[in-house]
Amino acid sequence: MAQESPKNSAAEIPVTSNGEVDDSCEHGFNRDLKHSLPSGLGLSETQITSHGFDNTKEGVIEAGAFQGSPAPPLPSVMSPSRVAASRLAQQGSDLIVPAGGQRTQTKSGPVILADEIKNPAMEKLELVRKWSLNTYKCTRQIISEKLGRGSRTVDLELEAQIDILRDNKKKYENILKLAQTLSTQLFQMVHTQRQLGDAFADLSLKSLELHEEFGYNADTQKLLAKNGETLLGAINFFIASVNTLVNKTIEDTLMTVKQYESARIEYDAYRTDLEELNLGPRDANTLPKIEQSQHLFQVHKEKYDKMRNDVSVKLKFLEENKVKVLHNQLVLFHNAIAAYFAGNQKQLEQTLKQFHIKLKTPGVDAPSWLEEQ
């Protein structure tokens, strides 16, 4: 019995009795090979070489394009992991399929945002940078002025008006404080006179021998208390008007003055920077800085001129309003005080009517909700 030589099963090629390759087996082999290859690889590009152990001849099989009907896809045995799926998806995003159906891979690179899209964080950082630079320049200008090294822009006429306004404000505040003290003391005196008049009236009823004397004193104290309440109403009206003038009207003007002074410091700071740059050399590096400094200087100069005009206008209107208000209030205060200490009750009441001052009826409280119903 002849001994068979070992053969590689993968290299066995069935032949017919005439020694030719069986075509049916070749077609079946091609079909199986197509199923096992990836879908993107054509059979026309495949070459298979078989080597036999007992055969010195090397057999090469070239497979042409497959002409048969497509077979149904084989079910996948293993599902790819999440990492592999993410990698495939990333690779697939880099592929661009043109109209011809062939895929070309594009180079991935950094994403460049358009100029229209602005980052809010970058805008805030830019605002902080500008604010820091402006604060530094203004602080340097203030220190230079205090040390006597820096120059400052001075409007002599406007500065004189501002100094007068601040001095007048202090004096008006002093008058307001004294008037409030007088009002407090007068209120206590009126309250004491009212209590004293009630005590005299009670004794006039209980002391028959001194009935008339106690009665006269009771009427006098009640009349003084009534006139004191009238004078107290006039003084409180004077206090309210002066308080409005000092703490609202004048204070609003002084706030505008503070804004004007801040604009003046910024104007001088940028003016100093421009002067320093103009004194230095002019070349390709310094010319852009000089142009930018010139632009900033012009912006702050316009702001300074605007604030100076605003302060001038407000000071003018404030002076007119102050004269009108204080004229009326001083006339009221004088007439009320004179009529009270002269004992002229009619003149005192006429003074309050002249300035449309309404007094609360003494000894009469607000009606309760039962009385109102």
Q: Is 176-358 in CATH node 1.20.120.330?
A: no
Please give the pLDDT value at position 9. Answer: 44
pLDDT-derived band at 163, boundaries 50, 70, 90 = very high
Euclidean distance between CA atoms 175 and 46, whole angstroms: 111
pLDDT-derived band at 257, boundaries 50, 70, 90 = very high
Residue identified by tokens 């180079």 is 107
Q: What is the pLDDT of residues 170-223, one digit of tens each?
A: 999 999 999 999 999 999 999 999 999 999 999 888 888 888 888 899 998 999
How do the domains of the chain map onto residue ranges? 176-358
pLDDT-derived band at 48, boundaries 50, 70, 90 = very low
Mean predicted lDDT score pLDDT of the chain? 74
Please give the pLDDT value at position 117. Answer: 59
**Which helix (H) or strand (E) is 61 found in, with range?**
strand 59-62
pLDDT-derived band at 149, boundaries 50, 70, 90 = confident
What is the arithmetic mean of pLDDT over 100-116?
47
Q: Which residue has the higher pLDDT, 71 or 242?
A: 242
What is the arithmetic mean of pLDDT over 280-286?
80
Could you tell me what percent of the chain has a pLDDT over 90? 31
- CA dist 142 to 131, 139, 146, 269, 364, Å? 16, 5, 6, 9, 61
Beta bridge partners of 95: 105
Alpha-carbon dihedral angle through residues 73, 74, 77, 83, given to the nearest 10 degrees: -20
- CA dist 372 to 285, 329, 358, 367, 369, Å? 84, 36, 21, 6, 5
What is the arithmetic mean of pLDDT over 273-278?
84
Long-range CB contacts for residues 51-60, cutoff 8 Å, separation at least 24: 51/8, 51/11, 52/7, 52/8, 52/11, 52/12, 53/5, 53/6, 53/7, 53/8, 53/11, 54/5, 54/6, 54/7, 59/11, 59/13
Res. 7: pLDDT tops 60? no
Please give the pLDDT value at position 104. Answer: 43
Euclidean distance between CA atoms 104 and 194, whole angstroms: 106
Which stretches within the chain are classed as H helix?
Answer: 23-36, 82-93, 120-146, 156-206, 211-244, 251-279, 286-342, 345-354, 369-372
Residue identified by tokens 């995003």 is 93
Contact 303, 153 (CB under 8 A): no
Which pTM value belongs to this model?
Answer: 0.59
Please give the pLDDT value at position 11. Answer: 42
If you average pLDDT over each of 124-128, 257-261, 344-348, which comes out highest?
Answer: 257-261
**β-strand pairing of 95-96 with 59-62:** unpaired
Contact 179, 231 (CB under 8 A): no
